[in-house]
């Protein structure tokens, strides 16, 4: 396939913006870039895709999300409003995940995948929970990711909060799915796996050790870390150690582990995250919504931690997450110099690409360069001021909207063209979800603890 009549944003090193270009894609990879005239002459027999002068750029990557949360939209929490994050877990997320069966997991996933394709997020790192449907849950999600044509990394969150048997089932599900990905390479290699853990505050020392013992080679964990002070207090009570120290002691950290949030880590914990090479993901929309505080992102980056950007189940519109990260650190620190556009690019572009590449190592990802995975989006943006590689982050922060994404391509396959979805039936998914959601809400209410 030859994409022509395109303005390219490469996100290469250095980043380039190239006008009047064409991109040749073969076997899911970018083979060549070049001037449109020359490329059209050189490849007369290739299928053509006219970008109509739009920007063509690498698809966005989400470092931490929850497909299982889609049915929470518009759902009422009974009783008085939760007063802090631990209450949000007990009154919202834990009873909701208990209410999910096979079909709910399938459609909750599909709702998120439609959202991702429409809004240009092409790689998603998911963290799944459905304690009344554990065995095979990751296969159901995988099947829909495959159908959608996206790229995803899946895991099941192990926790002790539903008892020992379900913790064991969670361990089995991670182990099984990781091995399946290693052996089968499902979805033509667009699926990868990691080992999910909920958070230190719902994991005993025995379960952490059992997870470490079950971890297949060359993989790591995906766990929430110090999202709220409660995680630190609980860890101190259980072990006399802060959360990161505790996870290090149990062998959970390392160069293949993702720690989501790190809002309440102290300086020594940041040092351990840096020394161990652990990835950390930042989710400012979720942190604001839960009222948990703001991670010290700039210091964590300066300490040498590879910090990424996720959405924690918020819309798969990653530029919204960019904008929130850009704004919240300024108001939190009361200093407009904080969290520059360059820092946002370090998280959302550079580090997210490196993280995704760890899971999909056969070719570069997140850059429009020859040899890279052909995961691309078309953006119908017409700048009213000069746009160049230096000021691109601010054009994205103040000018780009996900509604401008018109075409989404993953591994060289077109998933959406001119805003028409080609792999998923949005009307069917919407109708079926609206049918399933009220039943999920009903079951959810039966699991909500009394005030």
Cα(214)–Cα(442) distance, integer angstroms: 36
Q: How far is the CB of 193 from Zn ion (least distance, A)?
A: 17
Tokens of 304: 């040498």
CA distances from 175 to 152, 215, 353 (A): 17, 7, 25
x/- binding map, residues 300-329, to Zn ion, per CB under 5 A? ------------x-----------------
Q: How far is the CB of 424 from Zn ion (least distance, A)?
A: 24
Complex with Zn ion: residue 232 or 312, whichever CB lies closer: 312
Q: How far is the CB of 127 from Zn ion (least distance, A)?
A: 6
Q: Are 417 and 425 in contact (CB under 8 A)?
A: no
Report the residue closest to Zn ion, judged by CB: 312
Cα(24)–Cα(40) distance, integer angstroms: 10
Complex with Zn ion: residue 281 or 407, whichever CB lies closer: 281
Considering CB under 5 A, how many residues would be counted as binding Zn ion?
Answer: 1
Report if residue 36 touches Zn ion, rule: CB under 5 A. no
**Closest-CA residue to 62 (of 112, 110, 122, 107):** 122
Give the up-direction half-sphere exposure of residue 68: CA atoms within 13 A in the CB hemisphere. Answer: 28
Give the up-direction half-sphere exposure of residue 70: CA atoms within 13 A in the CB hemisphere. Answer: 26
User: Burial code of 434-451, b = ≥16 C-beta within 10 A, e = fewer?
Assistant: eebbeebbebbeeebeee
Q: How far is the CB of 261 from Zn ion (least distance, A)?
A: 7
Residue 13, classified by CB atoms within 10 Å of its CB into exposed (0-12), middle (13-18) or buried (19+), is exposed
x/- binding map, residues 80-119, to Zn ion, per CB under 5 A? ----------------------------------------
What radius of gyration, in Å, describes the C-alpha atoms of the chain?
21
Q: How far is the CB of 64 from Zn ion (least distance, A)?
A: 6
Complex with Zn ion: residue 312 or 350, whichever CB lies closer: 312
- Interface of this chain with Zn ion, residues 374 to 403, rule: CB under 5 A: none
Complex with Zn ion: residue 269 or 312, whichever CB lies closer: 312
Complex with Zn ion: residue 111 or 374, whichever CB lies closer: 111
Q: How far is the CB of 328 from Zn ion (least distance, A)?
A: 17
Complex with Zn ion: residue 204 or 289, whichever CB lies closer: 289
Q: How far is the CB of 70 from Zn ion (least distance, A)?
A: 14
Which residues sit at the interface with Zn ion, rule CB under 5 A?
312
């Amino acid at each position: 396939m030859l994409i022509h009549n395109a303005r390219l944003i490469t996100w290469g090193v250095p980043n380039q913006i190239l006008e009047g270009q064409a991109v040749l894609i073969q076997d899911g990879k970018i083979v060549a870039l070049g001037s449109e005239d020359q490329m059209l002459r050189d490849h007369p027999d290739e299928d053509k895709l006219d970008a109509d002068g739009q920007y063509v750029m690498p698809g966005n990557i989400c470092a931490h999300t929850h497909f299982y949360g889609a049915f929470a939209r518009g759902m009422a929490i009974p009783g008085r409003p939760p007063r802090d994050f631990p209450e949000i877990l007990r009154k919202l997320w834990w009873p909701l995940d208990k209410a999910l069966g096979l079909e709910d997991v399938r459609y909750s996933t599909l709702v998120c995948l439609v959202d991702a394709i429409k809004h240009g997020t092409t790689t998603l790192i998911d963290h799944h929970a459905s304690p009344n449907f554990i065995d095979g849950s990751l296969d159901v999600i995988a099947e829909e990711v495959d159908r959608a044509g996206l790229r995803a990394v899946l895991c099941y969150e192990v926790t002790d909060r539903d008892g020992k048997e379900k913790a064991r089932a969670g361990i089995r599900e991670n182990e099984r799915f990781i091995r399946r990905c290693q052996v089968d390479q499902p979805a033509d290699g667009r699926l990868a796996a990691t080992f999910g853990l909920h958070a230190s505050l719902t994991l005993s020392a025995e379960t952490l050790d059992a997870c470490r013992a079950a971890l297949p080679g060359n993989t790591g964990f995906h766990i929430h870390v110090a999202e709220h002070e409660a995680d630190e207090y609980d860890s101190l009570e259980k072990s006399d150690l802060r959360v990161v120290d505790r996870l290090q002691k149990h062998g959970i950290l390392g160069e293949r582990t993702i720690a989501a949030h790190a809002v309440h880590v102290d300086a020594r914990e940041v040092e351990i995250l840096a020394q161990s090479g652990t990835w950390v993901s930042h989710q400012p929309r979720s942190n604001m919504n839960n009222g948990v505080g703001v991670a010290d992102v700039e210091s964590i980056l300066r300490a040498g931690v590879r910090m990424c950007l996720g959405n924690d189940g918020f819309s798969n519109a990653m530029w919204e997450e960019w904008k929130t990260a850009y704004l919240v650190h300024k108001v939190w620190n009361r200093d407009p110099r904080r969290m520059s556009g360059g820092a946002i690019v370090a998280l959302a572009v550079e580090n997210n690409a490196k993280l995704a590449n760890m899971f999909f190592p056969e070719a570069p990802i997140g850059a429009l360069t020859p040899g890279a995975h052909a995961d691309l989006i078309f953006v119908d943006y017409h700048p009213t001021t000069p746009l160049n590689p230096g000021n691109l982050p601010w054009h994205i922060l103040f000018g780009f909207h996900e509604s401008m994404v018109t075409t989404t391509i993953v591994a060289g396959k077109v998933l959406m063209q001119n805003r028409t979805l080609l792999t998923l039936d949005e009307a069917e998914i919407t109708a079926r979800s609206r049918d399933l959601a009220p039943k999920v809400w009903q079951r959810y209410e039966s699991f909500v603890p009394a005030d």
